[in-house]
Amino acid sequence: MKLVAIDHVQIAIPPLSEDRARGFYAGVLGLTEVERPAALENRKSIWFTSGSINLHIGVEADFVPAKKAHPAFVVEDLDEIVAKCVKAHLPTRPDVPLNGFRRVHICDPFGNRIELMEKSPS
């Protein structure tokens, strides 16, 4: 037995915040919203995709932001995304380069930590 891939990552948000989530994940990060399968229509969630990334945003009644656990997304135009976060008054924190990547930690509008990584020029 072996693990072979990650199908998706799920991030929690508080109730009644789906529109703010769409504004951030589609508007700032540039993900595309996709329809959930019909079998999951009764669940409170939003699904996004971009390339091989599948991100599910789930509404959680007792929401607590993930401040340590986080997804790390490889991006292009890191500075542009960070500028959008700053413009939206969202926290950003540069981190040390690692394994040939520039890295910045941001928070979504709900306080969930997200790492953005961009390949450094050779």
Q: What domain range includes position 94?
A: 9-119
* Residue 122 confidence (pLDDT) above 80: no
SS3 for 103? strand
How many distinct structural domains can be found in the chain?
1
CATH number, domain containing residue 38 = 3.10.180.10
pLDDT per residue over 60-79, tens digit each? 999 999 999 999 999 999 99
2 inside domain? no
Q: pLDDT value at position 82?
A: 96
AA letter at 59: V
1 inside domain? no
Q: pLDDT value at position 67?
A: 94
Q: Is 81 exposed, middle or buried (0-12, 13-18, 19+ CB in 10 A)?
A: buried
25 inside domain? yes
Q: pLDDT value at position 102?
A: 96
Contact of 109 with 20, CB cutoff 8 Å:
yes
19 inside domain? yes
Using CA atoms, how far apart are residues 32 and 29, in angstroms rounded to an integer? 9
92 inside domain? yes
105 inside domain? yes
100 inside domain? yes
pTM of the model: 0.92
pLDDT per residue over 89-120, tens digit each? 999 999 999 999 999 999 999 999 999 999 98
3 inside domain? no
User: pLDDT tier at 59 (50, 70, 90 boundaries)?
Assistant: very high
AA letter at 38: A
pLDDT per residue over 18-55, tens digit each? 999 999 999 999 999 999 888 888 888 999 999 999 99
